[in-house]
């Protein structure tokens, strides 16, 4: 295994706040990129104060900003802006998730940045993208999930739409941002291209995950609706309640798997039923099948259900909480919990690195930094001496 990381040598400047931009930069930092997070001296990224706080700082922050260096710059001050331009002149990727037009108002539009550094790749994450009639509207992940189609199909048919328990739209957009950045870098480095803009709209990031929704509507006029825990057309796949009140997810929609499940529940006749040999036929009789599976699961404990299905090689699982994950052998075997240290020295668990690279894996070198922790270090690297840094700080430029 190599000790080198695949993105070592890349410099990334992050101008984002909260979730989408910072998550994209975090992924790059975990795999070796030098990520410089530019924050306002006046409090920095609001994520520092979101959700559960430990001695005044969000536990989420320590994960979201791991391996990053924090530089405080007042971008409304001429010298703060000048420092950023100096930094961008020697940067590979700029990641920003401001509302479109914000950087332009600061004098940092693409024309300026591209002239300053023709090789720089600019990742722009926003609610609705950099063009179109909705580009100026604010758009958090919740809005992107709503416009992109996810909220409409999530929940039960007789109830209003619901959200997932996390900001999934922001995270999906971040993944597209990283993919786009790496594509643009390949174009630059392998094919001799220049830097370019990677324009990621949150609603489009979600929309891109909507599977067969578009052709089904275009060709057949079919509008996918909320369907609770089942997925019409993919049968059987649902959550069922055991005799002890615990839940299990069973996915037996594969043809051979379905036959194994039917034999588990003592219905050899259904395993051999020609109408149930494929998804289309099973879906026509899904109410009948789900009633049978519900009755079988409801007669046994969760442990008995899972043991029986495991022996029959039918995909199934209990519904994990984070407490379940902490002691689960699979999570532990794949290092999905790693140790970090809080500022007071206390050890705490963080999520492990994804994906797993066999030769150049990612790692956590340090947790999210204090506000401006690396400002002096970075400014010295740009040629500022101690007196100049003191003056900049007194003038509130940094």
Compute the C-alpha angle 117/122/124, nearest 5°: 155
Q: Which helix (H) or strand (E) holds 346?
A: none
d(Cα 161, Cα 159) in Å, to the nearest integer? 7
d(Cα 352, Cα 335) in Å, to the nearest integer? 6
Using DSSP's 3-state secondary structure scheme, residue 278 falls into: coil
Task: Pick the closest to residue 264 from 295, 233, 222 (CA basis).
Answer: 295
Residue 145: Cβ within 10 Å count: 26
Phi and psi at residue 287, in whole multiples of 5°? -60, -45
Residue 314: Cβ within 10 Å count: 22
Which residues are known catalytic residues? Answer: 170
Using DSSP's 3-state secondary structure scheme, residue 161 falls into: coil
C-alpha dihedral sign at 366, 370, 376, 381:
positive
DSSP letters, 186-253, are HHHHTS-----EEEEEHHHHHHTT-TTHHHHHHHH-------TT-BTTB-SEEEEE-TTS-EEEEE--
């Amino acid at each position: 295994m190599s000790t080198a990381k695949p993105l070592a040598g890349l410099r990334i400047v992050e101008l984002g706040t909260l979730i989408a931009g910072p998550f994209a930069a975090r992924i790059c930092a975990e795999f070796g990129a030098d990520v410089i997070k530019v924050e306002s001296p006046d409090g920095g990224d609001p994520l520092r104060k979101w959700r559960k706080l430990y001695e005044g700082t969000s536990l989420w922050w320590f994960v979201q900003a791991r391996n990053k260096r924090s530089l405080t710059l007042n971008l409304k001050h001429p010298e703060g802006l000048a420092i950023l331009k100096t930094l961008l002149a020697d940067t590979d990727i700029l990641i920003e998730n401001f509302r479109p037009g914000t950087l332009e108002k600061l004098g940092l539009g693409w024309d300026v940045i591209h002239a300053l550094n023709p090789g720089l790749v600019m990742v722009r994450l926003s609610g609705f993208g950099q063009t179109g009639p909705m580009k100026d509207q604010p758009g958090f992940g919740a809005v992107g999930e709503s416009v992109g189609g996810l909220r409409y199909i999530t929940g039960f048919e007789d109830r209003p739409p619901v959200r997932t328990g996390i900001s999934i739209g922001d995270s999906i957009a971040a993944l597209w941002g990283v993919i786009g950045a790496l594509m643009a870098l390949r174009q630059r480095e392998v094919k001799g291209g220049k830097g370019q803009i990677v324009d990621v709209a949150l609603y489009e990031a979600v929309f891109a995950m909507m599977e067969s929704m578009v052709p089904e509507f275009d060709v057949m006029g079919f509008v996918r609706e909320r369907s609770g825990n089942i997925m019409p057309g993919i049968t059987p796949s649902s959550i069922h309640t055991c005799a002890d009140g615990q839940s299990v997810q069973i996915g037996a929609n594969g043809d051979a798997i379905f036959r194994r499940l039917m034999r588990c529940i003592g219905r050899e006749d259904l395993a051999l039923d020609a109408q149930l040999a494929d998804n289309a036929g099973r879906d026509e009789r899904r109410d009948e099948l789900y009633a049978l599976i519900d009755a079988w699961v409801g007669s046994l404990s969760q442990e008995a259900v899972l043991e029986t299905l495991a022996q029959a090689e039918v995909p199934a699982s209990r519904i994990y909480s984070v407490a379940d994950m902490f002691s689960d052998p699979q999570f532990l075997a794949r290092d999905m919990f790693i140790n970090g240290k809080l500022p007071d020295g206390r050890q705490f668990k963080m999520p492990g690195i994804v994906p797993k690279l066999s030769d150049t894996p990612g790692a956590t070198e340090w947790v999210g930094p204090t506000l401006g922790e690396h400002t002096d270090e970075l400014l010295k690297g740009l040629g500022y001496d101690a007196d100049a840094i003191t003056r900049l700080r007194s003038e509130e430029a940094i």
